[in-house]
Amino acid sequence: MTAAGPPSVGTPTAAEPSSVGTPTDAASPGADAARTGGPADSSGLRRLAVTTLDANWEHDHTVPSRTLYPHQWSWDSAFIAIGLAHVRPERAWRELASLFRAQWADGRVPHIVFNPALRVGAYFPGPEMWRSADVPGAPAVATSGLVQPPVHALAALLAYRRAPDPAGLAALRRLYPALVAQQRYLAERRDVAGDGLVCVVHPWESGLDNSPAWDEPMAAVPAEAAVMSAYRRHDTAHADAAHRPTDLDYARYLAIVAAYRDHRYADRDLAADHPFLVECPLFNAAFGAAEHALAEIAALVGGDPGPHRARAAQITEALVRRLYDPDTGTFQPRDLRTDRLVSARTVLGLAPLILPDLPTRQVDALVVEARSARFGVAPRMARPLPTYDRTAPDFEPLRYWRGPSWLNIGWLIRRGLLTHGHPELAAGLRRSMVGLVAGAGCHEYFHPDTGAGLGSPAFSWTAALLLDLLDD
């Protein structure tokens, strides 16, 4: 632990040198703005981000992308609220409120809230696959039955800090019990191993759907790529199939959904026969960071921060005990079906840096890992932060979460570096991230060597987190 006690979650401890990054490509409006240097650069980028968010606003939420993801996604909404708080604070609160209106009676916050106005087939797998209406305790609106990393309490705290007015405080007060219920669901229903950590039951719950981290546990899920001939994938109609998960991945995704759905999304007895059970370092770091954020929110709304602080400390202790691998000096997911740590070194392992009470030994080891040739974090980054060890033989620079660079991950890691007193590294990461958008626009993800834009060209969390980075 740090000698002075954990710093506040809402306020990273170290100030950071600021500058707008160097563009990697001149093919976008942001590139022109960034090339000239000076304040006009960031105003051009800011306009691009606001235009992107405005175009993706849909009555009470922001779609991640009009084409690829036309409904509401859980952790997207949290990242989006962080950015909206800079420019449209009222929308930031509506974004979070609309998501939590779809919270289930058991406290789970579904990873997708379907927009009933959209045609059948607007996204696959749609409501007809999830059948949430058949489950008691599901909301009136159709949703998935999975969850995503609980970054919402942190988002609510940051949104309030950005616009600390009476309307924000009232919104925070309304959200607080729902955020507590979200944590309670995870702690009570998803601690499959009984070790104080949350278990994810589907790769989609991690948010890093086809990360190499899931290759080992996914290999044990029985499925055949050929089953996909019975379905029409929506994603490959809007993005290059070579940049997306494979048909075999999708066959397994659907098999795991069916297994969970056929148990009516009940979490008891998961250990007996659910095909995918993994403790993820990023998910659990978010779970711990949420308790730190809730402690601060409780203090603001007249609640008791004490129990949140105590739970935060327990989560950090469990993460270190169960997921830290002293041999590699990083955190690794644990496959509960084999009780082994997975071997792939992905960026998920760096995520516990966001915990302000991570012990110094692990912080130092993660900084070594972040600076290594695998991830290349530096005061002047030669290349963007990849999502997977770039020295691995199966590193794939184009395929989704198997190599490409994503702004939400960089944003989290940068936050962790600031929290633990590494402002120069945080500045390098920030410059690199801003440079990606300046060079290619608000893309969903970026080529980890060239910075070329990949996936959706108008992606909401990229725009939102860019706004946060620019104002920081």
CA distance 340 to 323: 10
Contact 401, 344 (CB under 8 A): no
Contact 30, 441 (CB under 8 A): yes
Contact 169, 310 (CB under 8 A): no
Tell me whether residue 204 or residue 214 sits nearer to ligand 2M8 (CB atom). 204
By the rule CB under 6 A, 75 interacts with ligand 2M8:
yes
CA distances from 30 to 53, 274, 381, 443 (A): 15, 46, 20, 12
**């302000």: which residue's tokens?**
356
Q: Strand runs (DSSP E) across 31-150, as ranges? A: 57-58, 61-62, 72-73, 112-113
Q: Which stretch binds ligand 2M8 (CB under 6 A): 203-211, 269-277, 352-360, 380-388?
A: 203-211
How far apart are CB 151 and ligand 2M8 at their closest, in Å?
A: 11
Tell me whether residue 235 or residue 291 sits nearer to ligand 2M8 (CB atom). 235
Q: Which residues contact 69 (CB under 8 A, 6 or more apart)?
A: 63, 76, 123, 456
CA distance 197 to 192: 8
How far apart are CB 437 and ligand 2M8 at their closest, in Å?
A: 16
By the rule CB under 6 A, 235 interacts with ligand 2M8:
yes
By the rule CB under 6 A, 76 interacts with ligand 2M8:
yes
Reduced DSSP (H G I as helix, E B as strand, rest coil) percent helix, strand, coil of the chain, to 5: 50, 5, 45
Catalytic status, residue 357: no
x/- string (CB under 6 A) for ligand 2M8, residues 159-198? Answer: ----------------------------------------
Tell me whether residue 209 or residue 216 sits nearer to ligand 2M8 (CB atom). 209
By the rule CB under 6 A, 209 interacts with ligand 2M8:
yes
* Residues forming a β-bridge with 65: 69
Question: In this chain, which of 64, 376, 428, 441 binds ligand 2M8, going by CB under 6 A?
Answer: 64
Count Cβ atoms below 10 Å from residue 119 Cβ, excluding itself: 8
By the rule CB under 6 A, 95 interacts with ligand 2M8:
no
CA distance 406 to 461: 10
Question: In this chain, which of 48, 69, 103, 265 binds ligand 2M8, going by CB under 6 A?
Answer: 69
CA distances from 325 to 174, 329, 344, 349, 450 (A): 40, 6, 12, 10, 32
Question: In this chain, which of 185, 204, 260, 324 binds ligand 2M8, going by CB under 6 A?
Answer: 204
Tell me whether residue 64 or residue 217 sits nearer to ligand 2M8 (CB atom). 64
Instruction: Indicate which residue of 209, 216, 235, 369 is catalytic.
Output: 209
Catalytic status, residue 247: no
How far apart are CB 222 and ligand 2M8 at their closest, in Å?
A: 21
Tell me whether residue 79 or residue 160 sits nearer to ligand 2M8 (CB atom). 79
Q: Side-chain half-sphere of 325: how many Cα atoms within 13 Å?
A: 17
How far apart are CB 7 and ligand 2M8 at their closest, in Å?
A: 28
Q: Which of residues 101-140 bind ligand 2M8 (CB under 6 A)?
A: 111
Size of site (CB under 6 A) for ligand 2M8: 10
How far apart are CB 270 and ligand 2M8 at their closest, in Å?
A: 20
By the rule CB under 6 A, 23 interacts with ligand 2M8:
no
CA distance 183 to 176: 11
Structure tokens at 421: 């007193």
By the rule CB under 6 A, 207 interacts with ligand 2M8:
yes
Instruction: Indicate which residue of 95, 249, 444, 468 is catalytic.
Output: 444
How far apart are CB 401 and ligand 2M8 at their closest, in Å?
A: 7
How far apart are CB 164 and ligand 2M8 at their closest, in Å?
A: 28
Tell me whether residue 76 or residue 296 sits nearer to ligand 2M8 (CB atom). 76
Q: Is 410 helix (H, G, I), strand (E, B) or coil?
A: helix
CA distance 351 to 337: 23
How far apart are CB 271 and ligand 2M8 at their closest, in Å?
A: 24
Q: Is 62 helix (H, G, I), strand (E, B) or coil?
A: strand
Question: Annotated active-site positions, please?
Answer: 209, 444
Instruction: List interacting residues with ligand 2M8 (CB under 6 A).
Output: 64, 69, 73, 75-76, 111, 204, 207, 209, 235
